[in-house]
Structure 1
């Protein structure tokens, strides 16, 4: 299966997600949060740095729970805006 390349807007959305998760993590260590969410520290690192711009829903949900974030607010903060939103 060939994966369609991500658009610049989709990459930006992934980077935004990473920044939001990093900010929510605060002073907590990456391994601590990753362990609480049931994901590897490397997975969290890739999401936070934007190297994994489209993580699985259940990964995001687990991280949101571990960080005390609302999925609704997280989705709104990461949503595409403008014309690119119509094609998503």
Structure 2
């Protein structure tokens, strides 16, 4: 299966999500949040920096729970326009 390239909107939404997650993490260590979400620190780092702009839905849900972010706040990033 060949994956279609991401649209500029998808890339920008992924970048905004990464910024929101990084801000929500605050001073908590990256490894601590990654463990709480059931992922590797490298995966979380990629999401926060926008290098992984379209993580799986389950990953987004787990991060929202680990950071006490409502899933709707993360979903809104995909429907909003670039800031």
The question of a shared fold, defined as TM-score above 0.5 by the shorter chain, is answered with: yes
| Partner-residue secondary structure (3-state), 1:4 | coil
Once the 2 structures are TM-superposed, how far is the Cα of residue 73 of structure 1 from its aligned partner?
1.7
Instruction: Measure the CA separation in 2 of the matches of 1:49 and 1:81.
Output: 19
The CA RMSD over aligned residues, in Å, is 1.1
State the Cα deviation string for residues 25-71 of structure 1 (Å, max 9, x = none).
00001000000111110110000000000000000100110000000
Instruction: Measure the CA separation in 2 of the matches of 1:51 and 1:45.
Output: 8
Provide the TM-score with structure 2 as the length reference. Answer: 0.92
Instruction: Measure the CA separation in 1 of the matches of 2:59 and 2:75.
Output: 14
Runs of 4+ in 1 over 6 A off after TM superposition: none
Once the 2 structures are TM-superposed, how far is the Cα of residue 80 of structure 1 from its aligned partner?
3.2
Provide the TM-score with structure 1 as the length reference. Answer: 0.87
Q: 2:53 maps to what in 1? A: 53
C-alpha contact 1:33 1:67 (8 A) present in aligned 2: yes
Q: 1:3 maps to what in 2? A: 3
Q: Runs of 5+ in structure 1 lacking a partner?
A: 83-88
Number of matched residues? 81
